[in-house]
Structure 1
């Protein structure tokens, strides 16, 4: 049996939406993008949503919007994909990496220790779909002593008057916090629609605004739509409507708009998300937990607690008391059965570029500990029950073979 890791969900409704776009003869930013933005507002409860061409470009735009620049610091977890830190570097600022908790999310205690008078923002990452401890982070950034450290150096920073909280929700579309969409817990939440995500547009992302009342989110939406199109006052769709060709450039913007041909894929998927796609992911995650729970080596991922529920984007299986090398052996053995697995994530300080600019793996011991024993299993709506059973059986067998061999070696030595 051959089981891929994370193929996109493409059904007839997706094909129909894409064909509708092609037949309309309008494939760049237009009505499909606007419809997807409206669906995102409904799904997340946010005030506004702006679709862009990737999570990364969306994060760069929002840091620039806030005035983050050279000399500033942005706190990020060491245990994340490289884009979380690269977006900060692209603004000329410094990513200040901190360690994570055992549930893989950023540690509020470590955040507090990392805050200085240069800190302008926190990028909190919802790993595997599980929201961070946003209550603790919000309490922190609103603490009078922390607020007094904040030095505003732009109009938006003066208006907010504190550290900006951005949720890196690349994994967590549909996640819940206190019974509400988790996007409501951050000032800005940025989702990814990359090909392997719960909802995809092939490539793409979406910025959701939940800024305090001192901001007019409707006006910010208009500004950001222009900023994402080179600072141009009219998009191509508006210019195409009759005698409407004249435009102006009023900001030094970016070119990061999402095209309709991509939005069409996400539009079809989001309309099935809560009723079909998300429940199927949850069903598979629970089946994995049931299959692995009898074994002492199984470290169960946090899927739900009294405040949070995951979006079930990944199933981050962790194996107790193994080394990184043993984890790699297990992966090789699983792959031999036709089951494709992955690892999320290699901590950023282990990567060549980040090492070259001074980050050290040993400064983030829990990030390395979690990475060294983690194996991400396939989890997507198309997986059939017999395929999940096949994965569970082979993962158990291959882990047991390495763990049992290790015990024999220990006894012999």
Structure 2
């Protein structure tokens, strides 16, 4: 991060996100290519060990995406037809899609617009005898109210952490991924740590860990690396379950491990930028900065503010257009899944039953935040918003 300096120049386009990679990542890829072993192997194992240590869990498994991580989580928890899974009404569509792919029913729950996370009272009201799990999304890097959720849920109802945005985040000192029965992370380029695509599944449960490891590799009883480097590589493994090909490559893992070593610096730099946003946005009474309470170790995957429609001189969408005209990338926070055609059609969901999610969809605005920008870029964004009309 260039402290206060615009690396790209005033007239250059400022993207909403940009991966922070360099020669270390290139060198890591070179080592994998020269090794001759490109698929899941020793680099994956090293990355998994480092990830588990950083997030305070016994087990971490690298997979192809956070979507596949979520799917694996529900599969190993035995979620299937006839089951209900509680899902936030405001989240990326993958959170709900994986429930459908298991043959179960997503039951949508409204959010608190201030935190963008699950409303515990709404969770309590949505529970039925068919509820088999809750997916708690740590949206934009802020941990969901895990203690409140745990107090509400009946014994035996697991919490799956959708920690796609929350690598390095924490809740009262406890790391994301260690707060529920299973945690699921993303390594997409818009995340703090990336390897292009990829995900991680975490758990402290030994039995779930064994199932996750098996299901991600076609259901095989032993991995390819162990088999091919063992004394009888021609013997095929046993297959006792119907698994998936959700394995990460060593190329991705090598990049991810380099990125993971930079995680604390990345988050610290993002906090400096977020602090500058907070201070500068005080000049605009129609934009509310995101909440960052002391107990929640926000990873700041995104800086998502909220536009007050009663005070703003322009709509949220017009603000997005103004920024685009000024060569500044910005986006809505995410979408209200309950308003998407597929869910309205297949499940008869009424979006108006979720006022928190609908307000967040209409009024949230994600401003540029990444480790390749500086405070001068923040100034540029705020100055463009100050002149919006």
TM category, shorter: over 0.9
Q: Report the TM-score when normalising by structure 1.
A: 0.87
Q: SS in structure 2 opposite 1:203?
A: coil
Q: Which has the higher contact order (CA 8 A, sep 6+)?
A: 2
In the alignment, which of 131, 135, 146 is matched to residue 143 of structure 2?
A: 131
* Contact 1:324–1:373 (8 Å) recurs in 2: no
What's the TM-score once normalised by structure 2's chain length?
0.92
Change (3 A) 1:324 1:372: farther
1:364 pairs with 346, 350, 354, which one? 354
Residue 360 of structure 2 aligns to a residue in which SS? Answer: helix
- How far apart are 1:295 and its partner, in Å? 2.4
After TM superposition, the structure 1 = structure 2 runs for residues 110-129 of structure 1, keeping only pairs within 5 Å, are 110-129=122-141
Instruction: Quote the residue 1:309 is aligned against.
Output: 297
Distance in structure 2 (CA, Å) of the matches to 1:230 and 1:46:
24
Q: 1:34 aligns with which of 42, 45, 58?
A: 45
Tell me, in whole angstroms, the C-alpha distance in 1 between the residues paired with 2:376 and 2:60: 39
- Aligned: 1:7 with 2:1: no
1:343-367 per-position Cα deviation (integer Å, ceiling 9, x unaligned): 1211012211112121121010111
Q: In structure 1, what is the equivalent of residue 96 of structure 2? A: 85
Aligned to 1:279: 268
Aligned counterpart, 2:152? 140
Distance 1:20 1:378 in 2: 33
Instruction: Measure how far apart 1:307 and its partner are.
Output: 1.9
**1:237-264 C-alpha deviation (Å, 9 max, x unpaired):** 2222154321222221111111111111
Structure 1 residues 21-170: aligned runs within 5 Å: 21-102=32-113, 103-141=115-153, 146-147=154-155, 162-170=156-164
TM-superposed deviation, 1:12 = 1.1
Q: Does residue 1:352 correspond to 2:341, yes or no?
A: yes
Shift of 1:232: 1.0
Q: Secondary structure at 2:217's aligned position in 1?
A: coil
- Long gaps (5+) in structure 2: 1-10
SS in 2 for 1:23: helix
Match of 2:325 in 1: 336
Q: Any idea what SS the aligned residue of 2:201 has? A: strand
Aligned 8 A contact 2:74 2:102 in 1: yes
Q: Provide closer, same or farther for how the CA distance between residues 223 and 183 of structure 1 changes in structure 2, counting only shifts above 3 A.
A: closer
Match of 2:259 in 1: 269
Q: Contact conserved, 1:28 with 1:259, CA < 8 A, in 2? A: yes
8 Å CA contact retained: 1:324, 1:372: no
Shift, 1:101, TM fit: 0.5
What residue number does 1:299 align with? Answer: 288
| SS of 1:174 mapped into structure 2 | coil
Give how far 1:27 is off.
0.9
Q: Which residue of 1 is the match for residue 384 of structure 2?
A: 394
Aligned CA distance change for structure 1 residues 306 and 7 (closer, same or farther; 3 Å): closer
Seen in structure 2, the aligned counterparts of structure 1 residues 223 and 98 have a Cα distance that, compared at 3 Å, is closer
The corresponding residue for 2:216 is 228
Unaligned runs of 5+ in 1: 148-161, 212-216, 402-413
CA contact (8 A) 2:40 2:250 kept: yes
Match of 2:364 in 1: 374
Query: What per-residue deviation string (whole Å, max 9, x for no partner) do you get for residues 378-398 of structure 1?
Result: 111111232222122112222
Q: Is the 8 A contact 1:238 1:244 kept in 2?
A: no
- Do the aligned residues in 1 keep the contact of 2:76 with 2:208 (CA within 8 Å)? no
Give the superposed CA RMSD: 1.6
Given the alignment of the two structures, is residue 253 of structure 1 paired with residue 247 of structure 2, yes or no? no
Deviation of 1:60 after TM superposition, in Å, equals 1.2
Higher helix proportion: 1
Distance in 1 of aligned mates of 2:70 and 2:232:
31
User: What's the offset of the Cα at 1:4?
Assistant: 1.3
